[in-house]
Amino acid sequence: MHHTYIKVIIASWQGLSGNARGSLWLLTGGLFATVMITGIKFAGQRLPVLEILFMRQLFLFIMLTPILAREFPGAFRTKRLKLHFTRCAVSIVAMVTGFTAIVHLPLAEATAISFSRALFATVLAVLILKELVGIRRWGATLVGFLGVLIIVQPSSDGINAYALLAIISAALVSCNLIMTKKLTTTEKPKTIMAYHAGLLTIAYAGPCWWLWVEPTWPEVGLIIGLAGLMSAVQYCIIRGYRDAEASAAQPLEYVRLLYAAAIGFLVFAEIPTTWTWVGAALIIASSLYTMKRNVMNNS
């Protein structure tokens, strides 16, 4: 009986279109990502962010160890050592600023600001990749940054420090993605993962030793779960983009805002402000418009 149900489920899954399967993968990945940042927010109430990052990277590295051991020393052969180190340095700052923002900001607000990385990608593509961007995409980018300003609402006293950290993190994530794109032209995925996991674990170890707070066993279990969730998120994203067309897959990323708003309300009693929704709408609309122009190969 159980085998019959399994066969029906498999047949139904295979009967779906590629876009439908990819969409389900990405919706699941978005949920896992939101649960992951919820766990970070929980753990960060008592543990230093650098300690959470160190433990998460350590468990990730342990998970990768069987693969790296089997591929050693080939997994560490590289032609771009300097770029690996630069990417890892950017990742370190991006994670510290991003995790700190998650701990101190409402989930919906932190998630909405994180979407601005698509806007920073346009700016960095011009500055680093020397791409040509026309007036329409520049206009959409400016509208998106207006959305960011609406969310953070700078005043005469300045911008909320944690919102500023979230913006910095979004910019650095975009920079990281561009460097990853450059690395993939010469490096194997396992080499990129090996250097990233190893260097970040080492880099976080020193500050973590100074800031160490003895974690409880439930907290250790939570952080191990976060490492597992990160792997699950990456797997869902890879499967989603493999099965679905990019134009169909990309918009689904923004469903995470709904997940974040729902979990933030249910778990932390957070209610997103009207300005958060308005700003998020501008960021999402400008990002989708930019993606459409990219698909059309029209600046």
Could you give the CA distance from residue 227 to residue 233 in angstroms, rounded to a whole number?
10
pLDDT, residue 288, reads 77
In a domain, 29, yes or no: yes
CA angle centred on 242, ends 25 and 169, rounded to 5°:
70
Please answer whether residues 215 and 55 qualify as being in contact, where contact means their C-beta atoms are separated by less than 8 angstroms.
Answer: yes
Confirm whether 151 is domain-assigned.
yes
In-domain check, residue 7: no
Between the alpha carbon of residue 176 and those of residues 91, 281, 294, the distances in Å are: 7, 25, 20
**Token duo for residue 215:** 């974690």
pLDDT the model gives residue 73: 73
Alpha-carbon dihedral angle through residues 238, 246, 275, 141, given to the nearest 10 degrees: 120
Q: Say what the alpha-carbon torsion angle 222, 64, 54, 27 is, to the nearest 10 degrees.
A: -50
Residue 262 located in a structural domain: yes
Domain for residue 4, yes or no? no
Degrees to nearest 5, angle at CA 254 with 250 and 258: 150
Structural domain count, the chain: 1
Residue numbers of the domain that contains 35: 18-295
Q: Indicate the DSSP class of residue 158.
A: B
Q: For residue 3, tell me if it sits in a domain.
A: no
Which residues sit opposite 155 in a β-bridge? 158
Q: The tokens of 239 are what?
A: 């499967």
User: How does pLDDT run along the chain (299 residues), one tens digit per residue?
Assistant: 556 656 655 656 565 666 777 778 888 888 898 999 899 998 998 999 999 999 888 888 887 788 777 777 767 788 888 888 998 999 999 999 999 999 999 999 998 898 888 788 778 877 776 766 677 777 877 888 888 888 887 766 667 889 999 999 999 988 887 888 788 778 877 788 788 888 898 999 988 889 899 999 999 999 888 888 887 887 787 677 677 665 566 667 778 888 899 998 998 888 888 888 998 888 888 877 776 665 555 55
Q: What is the pLDDT of residue 15?
A: 59
Does residue 2 lie in a domain region? no
- Tell whether 10 is covered by a domain: no
Query: Given this model, what pLDDT does residue 167 score?
Result: 92
